[in-house]
Amino acid sequence: MFKAQKSPVSAQAPRAQLDLPGSLRKVDSSASIWSGSTGSRVSIDEQVPAVSHFVHQLENAVNIRVEDDEEPVTVPSFLLRAVQLYNERRALAYKYDGKWEEWTYGQYYQEVVHAAESFIMLGLNPHESVGIACSNSPMYFISALAAVFAGGIFVGITCTNVKNILLHMLRECKVNIMVVDSHKNINQILDIWSDLPSLKAIVNADVCANLYHTNPRIYLWRDFLKLGLELPSAKLSHRLNMLAPNRCCAVFYPFVNHDTTFLPNGVMVSHDNLTYMAQLLVRKFISEYPDLDTLNEFRLMSYLSLNSPFALILEMLVPISLGGLVSFADQNALKGTLALTLREVKPHVFCGTVFVWALLQKRLFKRIRQMSCFRGQLLLLARNKSLQSFYRRLVKSEGSSMFRPGKFVSYVTNKVKRKLGLSCCKLFLSYDGSLKVETLEFFISLGIPIIELFTSTLLSGPHSMGGYCQYQMGSVGKELNGFTSKFTEKKGKNRKMYAKGRHVCMGILHQVNLHVMDHEGYVYTGISAYKGRHDFLYTCSDLKEVLILDNGCTVAYPPIENLFKDTLPIVSHCMLVGHMRSFAAILLTLKSEVCPTTYKPTKILARSVQIWLRQRGTNATTVSEIIQKKSTSVYEAIEDAIISVNKNLKHQSAWILKWRVLPIEFSLLDGELDPITMELRRDIISKKYKDVIDGIYSS
């Protein structure tokens, strides 16, 4: 597929060899640095003492629920096993200056080791972090693994334009070193560096960069790799000795909203969360496609956002387990180059979000419309036969695969898959939401049967996953081995789902007051779901997005609420009400200051709101003053915003007719915001402000 090229990174600095087994397997018994140790360990894969299943500090350890024969392992041990088995195999491929550059597993390991030594030289402390704000590339993988080898933690950082959010993430994780790949990101970090006492250096991971920065603490990638050459190997061994499978390995911030003033929560995952899930996924993939384990070279393309544990496991750790090759798409993959890279890579597994599959469907529809009449009719005939064959097998399937198209259908659909670069692909996966039945049918008709899976913010990987031998349209499959679910006692299908298993994350960073795990070890998944026939799981997350009025009109919450906040910038939250009522109304909260000790919103208006009010002749400083005096400028602005929003609604029956300003902002600690998704918890807010809502409809 690729022409082997010498890596530009590897060519810059000579590498000292490291004794692989000795550094990772032998633990110095004198290095008992964990709190409350009762003795020495014989391997870094042995757990350190812990007292809880859920923690809130980076240095804490958790109890792992080992309920099967899979022994916990650390990420360095996981990589070492691959190096010992697949040392000469290709591991990474990256298009650099129009040519594919490659790393074997041996070179991959050496890059990680020397990056880890360089991190230590730059001042990375044990149990503190390396922040990574890069697009998908070998440098991302190397930096993440090197941070762990050096006894630290890696954190995927979204460089948002909102400074207080970026500052919060870097402070909360005690980021010592930032790895970035653009000057824009460097400038964003420089703007807040003075407020980050723990930050010691920035590494520019753009291998094309040649210009040195005036700040001596900003390093080019090639110079960074040379820093650790003088470090005694004993120091790296000492850092490795500190690792344990039940200690924190990474922190993820999956919900970073560029337009919100709410600070995101960091989800901590342990070594075992990542390595166990990787091995479980490999077993699941092999059960669906047995030949996967015997391939000369497993291939996968990395393009998904690595700010979620599942994407990182799928694209970084699953290939390591199989000794496979990861090829990286460029930054414009979703803007038009995705199919081009897929045709070069020819992956064996392809995973997309709901958005990606919808985007592919849209582009394929466009291509189909451009076909000649004969080709179009031929494809239509093949698609109809493919779909009919699928439904026949779905009805009478008894454990065999439901996707066995005939020769004619295969001939036609294989041409489509070759155009997409999916001719070698055996598993098609979808996550991050439920696909529409129309989308599933469209791809099934093209010989691309999509397996849906369900994962959540507080889970390191899929809780459930479908399969080709047990397939239910619209279902996210059955729970994976060892995982269990429970539901609220509320009757019907729209019940909150809770998950338990070894994939549950080890905690939410610094959020001691957020009780997201119950006494049985179940965590809330953030969605509503139910179990259907044969215990297949079906998610119902879309049900809570619609308001139904008593006239039968359905109103979608998110578009209207987001439009209202965009129209009136002083509003922090708004919530549509009126389920089974005669008209829609809206509850509003104004932006206010947050108490620095309790983190709860106060009644004092935010500085930006006070400035906005003064510009309109109002000197109010609290929400109470505005409500009591019925501030003319504020009330007129709200009325104008409602008129503007109503103009954008298709049906007059969905118009917002009344509104109320609430005395205080919605709060995470008061239970009004979901601790996982930061979405409104509408049922709790409705109960809390029942009198206000009843007053709207009685007046």
Output the pLDDT for position 451. Answer: 92
pLDDT of 104-129, one tens digit each? 999 999 999 999 999 999 999 999 99
Q: How many Å apart are CA 409 and CA 386, to the nearest integer?
A: 6
Q: How many Å apart are CA 132 and CA 175, to the nearest integer?
A: 10
For residue 394, pLDDT beyond 70: no
Q: How many Å apart are CA 631 and CA 680, to the nearest integer?
A: 27
pLDDT-wise least confident of 2-11, 405-414, 456-465, 466-475: 2-11
**Residue 333 β-bridge partners:** none
pLDDT-wise least confident of 27-31, 143-147, 380-384, 600-604: 27-31
For residue 12, pLDDT beyond 90: no
The SS3 of residue 308 is: coil
Output the pLDDT for position 463. Answer: 94
Residue predicted with more confidence, 233 or 209: 233
Q: Which residues contact 658 (CB under 8 A, 6 or more apart)?
A: 583, 585, 586, 696
In a 13 Å sphere around the CA of 329, the CA atoms on its Cβ side amount to: 25
Residue 292 is given by DSSP the state: G
pLDDT of 445-492, one tens digit each? 888 999 999 998 889 999 999 988 778 888 899 999 889 999 887 655
Output the pLDDT for position 554. Answer: 64
Q: Which residues contact 491 (CB under 8 A, 6 or more apart)?
A: none
Q: Which of 137, 138, 140 is nearest to 157 (CA)?
A: 140
Residue predicted with more confidence, 286 or 435: 286
497, 424 Cβ separation under 8 angstroms:
no
pLDDT of 577-630, one tens digit each? 987 788 899 999 999 998 877 778 999 999 889 999 999 888 899 999 999 988
Q: What's the Cα-to-Cα distance from 658 to each of 215, 520, 630, 639, rounded to whole Å?
A: 56, 44, 15, 9
Q: What's the Cα-to-Cα distance from 26 to each of 77, 175, 237, 240, 275, rounded to whole Å?
A: 11, 29, 9, 9, 20
Q: Which of 345, 486, 522 is nearest to 421 (CA)?
A: 345
Per-residue pLDDT band for 224 (boundaries 50, 70, 90) equals very high
**Residue 302 β-bridge partners:** 328
Residue predicted with more confidence, 383 or 146: 146
Residue type at position 620: A
Q: Which residues contact 308 (CB under 8 A, 6 or more apart)?
A: 252, 254, 455
Q: How many Å apart are CA 423 and CA 431, to the nearest integer?
A: 21
Structure tokens at 114: 């020397």
Distance of CA 336 to the CA centre of its chain: 22
Structure tokens at 287: 């059960």
Per-residue pLDDT band for 432 (boundaries 50, 70, 90) equals confident
Task: Report the share of the chain in percent with pLDDT over 90.
Answer: 44
In what helix (H) or strand (E) does residue 146 lie, and over which residues does it extend? helix 138-149
198, 169 Cβ separation under 8 angstroms:
no
pLDDT of 611-620, one tens digit each? 999 998 888 9
In what helix (H) or strand (E) does residue 90 lie, and over which residues does it extend? strand 90-96
pLDDT-wise least confident of 218-227, 250-259, 415-424: 250-259
Output the pLDDT for position 183. Answer: 87
Residue with tokens 């298009």: 95
For residue 403, pLDDT beyond 80: no
Q: Is the dihedral of CA 636, 637, 642, 645 positive or negative?
A: positive
191, 162 Cβ separation under 8 angstroms:
no
Residue type at position 470: Q
Q: How many Å apart are CA 630 and CA 638, to the nearest integer?
A: 12
Per-residue pLDDT band for 688 (boundaries 50, 70, 90) equals very high
| Highest mean pLDDT, choosing among 122-126, 228-232, 440-444 | 122-126
Within 10 angstroms of residue 95's Cβ, the number of other Cβ atoms is: 16
**DSSP per residue, 547-586:** EE-TTS-EEEHHHHHHHHHHH-TTEEEEEEE-TTSSSEEE
Q: How many Å apart are CA 223 and CA 64, to the nearest integer?
A: 40
Average pLDDT, the chain: 84
**DSSP per residue, 471-507:** --TT---EEPTT-EEEE-S-SSS-EEEEEESTTB-SE
- Taking each helix axis from N to C end, the angle separating 407-420 and 373-396, rounded to the nearest 10 degrees, works out to 110
Q: How many Å apart are CA 314 and CA 336, to the nearest integer?
A: 23
Per-residue pLDDT band for 429 (boundaries 50, 70, 90) equals very high
Q: Which of 352, 267, 243, 359 is nearest to 675 (CA)?
A: 267
Per-residue pLDDT band for 102 (boundaries 50, 70, 90) equals very high
Residue with tokens 């001691």: 512
pTM for the whole thing? 0.76
Q: Which of 115, 361, 332, 134 is nearest to 225 (CA)?
A: 115
* Dihedral pair phi/psi, residue 449, rounded to 5°: -75, 120
Mean pLDDT of 632-636: 90
Output the pLDDT for position 545. Answer: 59
Q: Which residues contact 310 (CB under 8 A, 6 or more apart)?
A: 277, 431, 455, 460, 461, 462
Q: Which of 570, 578, 602, 585 is nearest to 667 (CA)?
A: 602
Per-residue pLDDT band for 80 (boundaries 50, 70, 90) equals very high
Radius of gyration, CA atoms only, the chain = 27
459, 505 Cβ separation under 8 angstroms:
yes
Mean pLDDT of 691-697: 92
SS (H, E, C) 586-627: EEEEECEEECCCCCCEEEEECHHHHHHHHCCCCCCCEHHHHH
CB neighbour burial string for 292-327, b if at least 16 within 10 angstroms, e if fewer: beeeeebbbbbbbebbbbbbbbbbbbbbbbbbbbbb
Structure tokens at 617: 């002749």
Per-residue pLDDT band for 34 (boundaries 50, 70, 90) equals very low
